[in-house]
Amino acid sequence: MPATVQGWHGAAVLIEAIRRDLRLLLRQRSELWLVLLFFVLVASLFPLALQPEPRLLAAIGGGVCWVAALLAVLLSMPRLFASDALDGTLEQMLLARSAWMPMLYGKLIAHWLASGLPLTLIAPLIGLQYNLDTEAIAILVLALLIGTPTLSLMGAICAALSLPARGDGALLALLMLPLTIPVLVFGTGAVEAHAAGLGAQAHLSLLGAALLLALVLAPWACSAAIRIALE
């Protein structure tokens, strides 16, 4: 097959995979709302345990948003491969060798669109709650826009590794949380660096580098883990 035709075929498979997984995810709206509600509740509970001091809230706002986003993404990860593995769909996808990687990329993109993107879009409301200024909120949203796909990609590796344990949530958390610490540090550091007047470019660049690395390596790691789990 010529390279151009193969490329168009891969793109068509990718788009169809995104549509398929989004349709399946939208059928489970209650679970999507649960992830979003969890993010809002976790981020909103912190001020209740602290003194209502504007400077203190602004100092911890970025970190709280990132911790809440990480836990919300973790909550959505067990369903990524588990249902397709149970009904045999994942095994059928593996048999389509030339279409397998586009379908896997489509599944990962659809998961982020249904979980990570809504968290990013609602983050400005959380930032206002923590008395962040307009520039700090913009940096927080940009950092989440870059960082949440990385969280999803790292979580996908862990979800694939935990398939033999039927997507056990405790095992998934044990695998995922240590891997995501650098993303959490850089994402929080971007907001803190802006507050200190140092500029957030370095932290955002590191988040971008982590995303590019995850985009290249995570799907291949997921594929290898899924093949091992289904053998």
State mean pLDDT over 103-108.
90
Residue 173 CA to residue 71 CA, distance in Å, equals 9
- Which pLDDT score is estimated for 97? 72
| Residue scoring higher pLDDT (48 or 107) | 107
Q: Which of 2-6, 30-34, 88-92, 175-179 has the lowest mean pLDDT?
A: 2-6
Percent of the chain with pLDDT over 70: 94
| Residue scoring higher pLDDT (31 or 76) | 76
- Which pLDDT score is estimated for 203? 93
- Which pLDDT score is estimated for 195? 83
Distance of CA 99 to CAs 1, 89, 129, 142, 200, Å?
A: 13, 14, 45, 32, 39
Q: Is 172 exposed, middle or buried (0-12, 13-18, 19+ CB in 10 A)?
A: buried
State mean pLDDT over 215-223.
91
Residue 99 CA to residue 96 CA, distance in Å, equals 5
Angle between helices 3-26 and 29-45 (to 10 degrees): 70
Q: pLDDT-based confidence at 10, cuts 50/70/90?
A: low
- Which pLDDT score is estimated for 34? 87
For residues 33, 115, 62, 198, the Cα torsion angle rounded to the nearest 10 degrees is -160
Percent of the chain with pLDDT over 90: 32
Annotated domain spans of the chain = 3-230
183-199 confidence digits (pLDDT tens): 999 999 999 888 888 88
- Which pLDDT score is estimated for 3? 46
38-59 confidence digits (pLDDT tens): 999 988 888 777 777 878 888 8
- Which pLDDT score is estimated for 5? 41
Distance of CA 205 to CAs 19, 29, 159, 188, 211, Å?
A: 31, 34, 27, 13, 10
- Please provide the average confidence, as pLDDT, over all residues in the chain: 85
| Residue scoring higher pLDDT (141 or 95) | 141
Q: Is the pLDDT of residue 201 over 50?
A: yes
Q: Is the pLDDT of residue 86 over 70?
A: yes
Q: Is the pLDDT of residue 2 over 60?
A: no
